[in-house]
């Protein structure tokens, strides 16, 4: 997740509240102020200055109003007073918080705006705080999706990026990761242990324990378990892609099926095609990648290898265990394997060898 945890609504509120003031400070009232800077007020309750936690007196440590580190300030005034800033000998920093005391001394209008949830502004100075802020953002994203009609079975174990769009009536199971510009359409079900990144998943499609990146999957399609769809693949509607199938840069059109143990790379597969178990497109010769095209209605038998570049026509048949390197015309059958030779009695002779 690369987005700031600060929401746009927060900044809209800040800009609206700042109207008519010279400086507005985001603040919060907390039970455990810890290492946050404290806001010090005068006897009239007006903001006087801000103190870094390293410079706090004993009495100031009990103050629970903290600065969240976000100021809205008149730009001209900021640059006017920058030359007056001084080094802080304790923190060895030039702190922007000095601006508060300077503007107070010069009679400017200063106010604070209380944050609804101070965790939106939590400091991130180490890996533990980073993890804490990420969990808070995760909770906020998941809550918003659920308010919008998404079913998230276990929000604490579901990881959704800030730019993801999930439509109502989608269902997300635990240990799912959805990131980037992904879109999950209505009625889709994402089962556990799936990773989806920069991908679109169609309506009423099921993803089961699979990885889909930079690709599009159509409606009423079933993916997985343990499938891998990547690199600008475009999967059609009512498709079945089963266990241990990998597709890279593939157009796989409506109603086609690849149920088991297959690699398709740099290929176009037409409609209503059956890809048997163990089929491989040999798309790389060590230097260049080549395309394979399979026409609609074709049947590719199990354990076949298609050596690209090659085209299989429409309604064609490739016999099981074939190695196909030449084009196959529409309606034809290709069989490219050695003939079986059966020798009677050889099995018994083998078993009866000495030492067997």
Adjacent-strand bridge partners of 328 = 312
Distances (CA, A) of 255 to 245, 269, 298: 16, 11, 12
Together in a domain, 115 and 155? no
- Of 141 and 31, the one with more pLDDT: 141
289: its two tokens: 């990648």
What is the predicted pLDDT for the residue at 91? 67
Together in a domain, 54 and 202? no
What is the predicted pLDDT for the residue at 245? 98
Q: What is the CATH number of the domain that holds 85?
A: 3.90.550.10
Q: How many domains does the chain have?
A: 2
- Asked if the model's pLDDT at residue 350 lies above 80, the reply is yes
Q: How sure is the predictor about 351, in pLDDT bands with cuts at 50, 70 and 90?
A: confident
- Over residues 39-61, the pLDDT tens digits come to 999 988 899 999 988 888 888 88
DSSP 246: E
| Pairing relationship of beta strands 23-29 and 65-73 according to DSSP bridges | antiparallel
What gap in Å lies between CA 97 and CA 83, rounded to an integer? 14
**Assigned domain for 351 exists:** no
What is the predicted pLDDT for the residue at 1? 38
- Over residues 71-85, the pLDDT tens digits come to 999 889 999 999 998
**Assigned domain for 163 exists:** yes
**Assigned domain for 352 exists:** no
- Of 339 and 170, the one with more pLDDT: 170
**Assigned domain for 82 exists:** yes
Q: What's the rounded mean pLDDT across residues 342-355?
A: 82
**260 is annotated as an active-site residue:** yes
Question: CA 79 from chain center: how many Å?
Answer: 40
* 109 burial via Cβ count (<10 Å: 0-12, 13-18, 19+): middle
- Over residues 267-322, the pLDDT tens digits come to 999 999 999 999 999 999 999 999 999 999 999 999 999 999 999 999 999 999 99
Terminal C-alpha separation, the chain: 62
Domain, as residue range, for 267: 127-334
- Of 88 and 138, the one with more pLDDT: 138
Q: How sure is the predictor about 88, in pLDDT bands with cuts at 50, 70 and 90?
A: confident
Percent of the chain residues past pLDDT 70, beyond the cut: 97
- Of 250 and 3, the one with more pLDDT: 250
Q: How sure is the predictor about 10, in pLDDT bands with cuts at 50, 70 and 90?
A: confident
- Of 243 and 92, the one with more pLDDT: 243
Together in a domain, 186 and 267? yes
Together in a domain, 44 and 13? yes
- Over residues 194-225, the pLDDT tens digits come to 999 999 999 999 999 999 999 999 999 999 99
- Of 131 and 310, the one with more pLDDT: 310
* 355 burial via Cβ count (<10 Å: 0-12, 13-18, 19+): exposed
- Over residues 231-242, the pLDDT tens digits come to 999 999 999 999
Together in a domain, 139 and 41? no
What is the predicted pLDDT for the residue at 2? 43
**Assigned domain for 346 exists:** no
Catalytic residue among 21, 108, 177, 260: 260
Adjacent-strand bridge partners of 250 = 267
**Assigned domain for 339 exists:** no
Distances (CA, A) of 7 to 72, 119, 228: 16, 12, 34
| Domain C-terminal end among 106, 121, 136 | 121
- Asked if the model's pLDDT at residue 173 lies above 60, the reply is yes
Q: What is the dihedral of CA 323, 327, 329, 333, to 10 degrees?
A: -10
């Amino acid at each position: 997740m690369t987005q700031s945890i600060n929401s746009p609504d927060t900044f809209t509120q800040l800009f609206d509240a700042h109207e008519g003031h010279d400086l507005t400070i985001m603040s919060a009232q907390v039970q455990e102020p810890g290492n946050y800077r404290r806001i010090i007020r005068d006897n009239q309750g007006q903001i006087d200055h801000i103190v870094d936690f390293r410079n706090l007196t004993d009495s100031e440590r009990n103050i629970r109003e903290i600065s969240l580190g976000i100021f809205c300030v008149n730009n001209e005034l900021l640059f006017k007073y920058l030359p007056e800033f001084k080094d802080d000998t304790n923190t060895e920093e030039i702190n922007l918080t000095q601006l508060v005391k300077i503007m107070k001394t010069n009679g400017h209008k200063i106010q604070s705006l209380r944050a609804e949830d101070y965790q939106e502004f939590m400091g991130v100075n180490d890996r533990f705080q980073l993890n804490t802020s990420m969990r808070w953002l995760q909770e906020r994203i998941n809550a918003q999706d659920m308010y919008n009609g998404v079913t998230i079975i276990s929000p604490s174990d579901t990881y959704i990026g800030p730019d993801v769009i999930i439509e109502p009536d989608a269902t997300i199971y635990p240990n799912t990761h959805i990131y980037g510009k992904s879109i999950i359409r209505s009625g889709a079900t994402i089962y556990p242990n799936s990773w989806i990144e920069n991908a679109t998943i169609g309506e009423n499609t099921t993803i089961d324990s699979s990885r889909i990146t930079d690709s599009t999957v159509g409606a009423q399609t079933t993916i997985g378990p343990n499938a891998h769809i990547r690199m600008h693949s475009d999967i059609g509607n009512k498709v079945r892609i089963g266990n241990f199938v990998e597709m890279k840069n593939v157009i796989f059109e409506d109603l086609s099926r690849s149920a088991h143990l297959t690699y398709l790379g740099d290929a176009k597969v037409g409609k209503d095609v059956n890809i048997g178990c163990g089929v491989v497109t040999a798309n790389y010769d060590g230097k260049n990648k080549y395309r394979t095209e399979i026409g609609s209605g074709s049947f590719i038998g199990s354990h076949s290898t298609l050596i690209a570049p090659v085209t299989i026509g429409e309604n064609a048949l490739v016999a099981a265990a074939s190695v196909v390197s030449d084009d196959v015309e529409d309606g034809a059958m290709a069989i490219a394997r050695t003939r079986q030779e059966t020798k009677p009695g050889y099995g018994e002779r083998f078993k009866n060898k000495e030492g067997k």
